Amino acid sequence: MASGVIKCKAAVAWEAGKPLSIEEVEVAPPKAHEVRIKIIATAVCHTDAYTLSGADPEGCFPVILGHEGAGVVESVGEGVTKVKKGDTVIPLYIPQCGECKFCKNPKTNLCQKIRITQGKGLMPDGTSRFTCKGKQIYHFMGTSTFSEYTVVADISVAKIDAAAPLDKVCLLGCGVSTGYGAAVNTAKVEPGSTCAVFGLGGVGLAVIMGCKIAGASRIIGIDINKDKYARAKEFGATECISPQDSKKSIQEVLIEMTDGGVDYSFECIGNVGVMCCKTMSTMGSEKLFITIQKKKNSLSRDTKDDGRKMGMKKERIERREA
């Protein structure tokens, strides 16, 4: 069961647009159906920077950011049955209660059980488990992995193999599952198909991995940074091109390369201009083009597609995240 308050280090965002500050924070013990986790590894996602910039309409301050983490259960609250102290886990920013109508719907897994409080930076009971210098600190996306210890709802945690390298599997919390899921769950890429992946960062590489596992015969990576090409090919890209290498538009290049356009197109940057190129490079009547990332001054967190959702085929997908 839960012990007392833990004092630890955390990166606190006191204000929008200001640098993170390493502070000593107090992390209260988990209440009923909550889990306190010792974070061993965390990654940085663009969403963290987006919220810190002040552009996120759901951003609230002061807050402990971070949502790609992995660690070990330190203690559990009353009623927790799925994990126990010592389990290796990944916090989930999209919870899975398995009971609400959205969890039971085969077309989506956007659990709504704790959506309202999570969107306000609070635990399900409407309070925070973080304090610093006598002030309440908000949670972020139900995870707050930029802290040595964090508290999450018990439906927001997944137990994993204790032998897994936490500095790598922490990426499963967002980037990898988003990209891989976009190819496998949303697009349902078919064997022998041709795919274009715009943007070869972490999410783009995960898309490539998903396309390869799904059996795509041709996976074209598009990025202006050629230093990324070797890694993209390691993940399964069959070829990589840069929009800067041709006087023609990238969509014209892709249409010529693929005899009329690709079968599936993934935009992993969040740039509106790139979205238009991606759309026009996909084959006529069987279009499936998916946006799964964002940048400042383009898409908000509420309008990007997340590969962990089940999508609608042959339509543009810009569905709301949980």
Question: Which tokens is 111 given?
Answer: 């659990």
Q: Are residues 103 and 231 in the same domain?
A: no
- Domain boundary among the residues 172, 192, 215 is at 172
**198 with 80, same domain?**
no
Note the pLDDT tens digit of each residue in 28-49. Answer: 999 999 999 999 999 999 899 9
- CB neighbours (10 Å) of residue 284? 7
Give 161's DSSP letter: -
Residue 101 counted as domain residue? yes
Of 135, 155, 172, which residue constitutes the final position of a domain?
172
With respect to residue 70, please indicate whether it lies within any of the assigned structural domains: yes
Is 130's pLDDT higher than 70? yes
205 in the same domain as 98: no
46 is written with which tokens?
């663009």
Residues 167 and 192 in one domain: no
Q: Where would I find the beta strands (DSSP E) of the chain?
A: 6-13, 21-27, 34-43, 63-64, 68-76, 88-91, 130-132, 135-137, 149-153, 157-159, 194-198, 218-222, 239-241, 264-267, 289-291
Last residue of a domain, one of 142, 172, 202: 172
Same domain, residue pair 164 and 258: no
CA distance 201 to 226: 12
Q: How many CA atoms lie within 13 A of 242 on its CB side?
A: 8
Residue 310 covered by a domain: no
Instruction: Please check whether residues 53 and 200 belong to one and the same domain.
Output: no
pTM as predicted: 0.83
Give percent above pLDDT 90 in the chain: 77
47 and 83 share one domain: yes
Domain containing residue 287: CATH number: 3.40.50.720
Distance of CA 255 to the CA centre of its chain: 30
Mean pLDDT of 95-110: 91
Q: Compute the C-alpha angle 250/223/294, nearest 5°.
A: 100
What CATH number does the domain containing 33 carry? Answer: 3.90.180.10
> What digits encode the pLDDT tens for the residues 186-224?
999 999 999 999 999 999 999 999 999 999 999 999 999
User: Count of domains in the chain?
Assistant: 2
Residues 145 and 41 in one domain: yes
Assess if residue 222 is contained within a domain: yes
pLDDT band at 107 (very low <50, low <70, confident <90, very high): confident
Per residue in 243-280, pLDDT (tens digit) is 999 999 988 999 999 999 999 999 998 766 665 555 55
Whether residue 245 is contained in a domain is answered as: yes
Q: Is the residue at 319 inside a domain?
A: no
Q: Which domain holds residue 77?
A: 6-172
Same domain, yes or no: 168 and 19: yes
Q: Are residues 103 and 182 in the same domain?
A: no
Question: What is the arrangement of strands in the sheet containing 130-132, beginning at the earlier edge strand?
Answer: 63-64, 6-13, 21-27, 130-132, 135-137
Do 179 and 208 share a domain, yes or no? yes
CA distance 179 to 202: 8
Q: 218 with 189: CB under 8 angstroms?
A: no
β 130-132/21-27 pair status: antiparallel
The answer to whether residues 185 and 117 belong to one domain is no
User: Is the residue at 314 inside a domain?
Assistant: no
Strand-pair category, 63-64 with 6-13: antiparallel
Is residue 321 included in any domain, yes or no?
no
